[in-house]
Structures are given as structure tokens and as C-alpha cells.
Structure 1
């Protein structure tokens, strides 16, 4: 197994979150991009304002590493119009994957039609532009019933509106990695949440993000059936070392 082809090497901290100034944070991003190029990871995941920089580095190096970015991150509460606008810009900047944060709070408040509409319109935009679309449902903010229902809702919107050939390009993704939990509970992927997602999102693929920090944890997720793993410790995991705490 080439585990590197499952790993989305991820750096999504702002300068403030990292405790750095803007230039220092930019250098960290460039380091992650270069590492992804050197290690031949499948994809580098960066904030939208870093896509152009990542694209130039990858093109200049002749690398095949793809670029993913996050849309309406990390809360997912923006309007559909704003989500689409941000996604269009990311496409123009050269992103290959668009990881949308689903409006999970609207879903929890019973605004199912709004969530269906955002999934339909944003997925349509991505697929029309030959992009991979991922829907982050933020499992730490949901109970088991909600994880099950939201995963199934995304699946049903996709199956009802798109061709079977498109299914592999629309993921259900566990987490942003930035959700604040109480009592130090996990804020990312857990085995239990991933199993629920896999059972209810199929035939759509699942991405485990947040909390995968060791080679053994990554292998366990792959064996469960996930197709992608988002981690800030991709190199450490690939080298069978423990990644540092964080996304």
C-alpha cells in the first residue's frame, strides 16, 4: 500500500492561530507545499489565500501534487451565494479540490431545505469545473443520529442530481479540525464517527480529517474504508512516526 496517496497534507492555520506574523506563516505554508512535492503526497490542503502561491510552487517544480482548499471555513454559516463566490475564486486560483464546510448548524436547526440547496449548488459548481468536492460535516458538533442523517442527506442529494460517474468526486468529510469541544473531547475523526459516515454516505467516498496522528491510526482508517485522510503530520505518518498534536 502506498499510504502517501491517501494523505492530504494539511496546513490551515492563520498566522494568528499559529502565533506567527504573516510572513512567518507564509514560510510555514511554503514548507508544507515543498514537503508535499518532495514526498509525492496526493494533495496539499491550504487556505484559499495560499492557493496561488502553492500552485506556482507546484507548477514550477513539475510536480503532480494537487491543491485543495477550504470554503466557508471553519463554521460553514455563510450564505450559499457567498460559498459559491469563494469557490469560484478558488477555482480561478487553481484549486483542484474544494472542501466546503456544510452549514451543520442550519441542519441541526431543522433547515434541511437550505442545506440541500447548498449541497446541490456548490457540488454542481465543483463538478462542472472538474473539481473534487468534499462536504465537511463537523462530527464533533453532531450527535450520532445527526451524523447518520447528514451523511445520508448529502448522499441522497448527490444520487438524485448527478451521474453515477460523479459519485467518486463527492466526499463526505468528518471535520475541520478547528471545532472547540468541551472537556477535551475529540474534535476530529473517530472510529465510531467514520463507521457511521461510511455506512450512510456510501457510495460516496469518505475523508477522515482531524485527529489522525499515527501510521497505525491512518491504516485503521484506510481499512475501515476511507479514501482520503487529512493530516498536518503527513510526513511523520508516512515515515511511521507519531505526528505532533493538531490537525
Structure 2
């Protein structure tokens, strides 16, 4: 396996709250150069990155409710729909960490079913982020 084939298994990420257009341009250029599978970005940058990566095999992944997961289900659903409308190829969402710590598994299940259902409806990949550091 060569370097480019290996890079295709990884996401290239920039999820800083101070992200600028220059940061995201650099991210997309690097992702194209190395052949990353996807750029993982905050939802607000979805359209911008989709345009930057047009004509490449690099996907755009929106990180929903990153990093805390406590935006509430209605907000996560809205953010997911907006990201998909803006061109996200993948949705990576953070579970509600507090709900998980309290063992409210019905809430986590509802959250997962809701977001995954929207993604399936639009043929968009979905992944769950567990912020294990918390």
C-alpha cells in the first residue's frame, strides 16, 4: 500500500472555533494533495468546502454539535438537514455526553434513530462521535 492509498482511509480535520476561510482553504488543499477520504469541518463551512473540493474524490463531512453534543435533539436535526442541503457527504454527530453519563439510553437511541434516518433518506453516510475524553 502506498502513501496515497493509505491517506484515503483517513479524514483530514479542522474543527477549531476560530476557523477562517484561509484555514479551510489550506485544509481542502492538503486533503486533495494527500488524497484524504474526507474533510471534517464545522457545519458552517460545508458549502465552502464542497466548492473547494468539487471534482475530487474528497468528501465533506459536517461535525454536528461538536464537541459537546448538548445542542438538543431539535437543533441537531436542524443542523443535520442544513449540512445535507449545503452538500455534506457525511454527517458525524456527537452524542449528548451528559445523557450518556446519566445512562439515558432511550434518549441516545432516539437521537441516533432521528439523525441516521435523515441521513439514510438523503443517502448520506452517518457516524457517531463519542468524545471519550469526557
TM over 0.5: yes
1:103 aligns with 2:96: yes
Equivalent residue of 2:119, what SS? helix
CA distance in 1, matches of 2:29, 2:64: 23
1:74 and 2:73 aligned: no
* Mapped partners of 2:15, 2:72: distance in 1: 22
CA distance in 1, matches of 2:68, 2:36: 27
Rounded to whole Å, the distance in 2 between the matches of 1:130 and 1:63 is 19
1:128 maps to which residue? 121
In the TM superposition, what whole-angstrom CA distance separates every residue of 1:187-238 from its partner, at most 9, and x where no partner exists? xxxxxxxxxxxxxxxxxxxxxxxxxxxxxxxxxxxxxxxxxxxxxxxxxxxx
Deviations 1:51-82 (A, max 9, x none): 111111111xx211110110011111122111
8 A contact 2:43–2:83 mirrored in 1: yes
Within the candidate set 11, 20, 42, 2:14 is matched to 11
For residues 15 and 24 of structure 2, the distance between their equivalents in structure 1, rounded to whole angstroms, comes to: 9
Matched, 1:26 2:29: no
Partner secondary structure for residue 86 of structure 1 = helix
Q: Which structure carries more relative contact order (alpha carbon 8 Å, separation 6+)? A: 2
Relative to the length of structure 2, the TM-score reads 0.92
Question: Which ranges in structure 2 are unaligned for 5 or more consecutive residues?
Answer: none
Q: Which has the larger radius of gyration?
A: 1
Please give the alpha-carbon distance, in whole angstroms, between the structure 2 residues aligned to 1:7 and 1:110.
31
* TM-score normalized with structure 1 length: 0.51
Aligned counterparts of 2:81 and 2:115: Cα–Cα separation in 1: 10
Gaps of 5+ in 1: 16-21, 142-247
- Give the one of 106, 118, 121 matched to 2:111: 118
The aligned length equals 131
User: SS state of the match for residue 139, structure 1?
Assistant: coil
Which residue is 1:139 aligned to? 132
Residue 74 (structure 2) pairs with residue 85 (structure 1): no
* Distance across 2 between alignment mates of 1:47 and 1:102: 15
Name the structure 2 match of 1:167: none
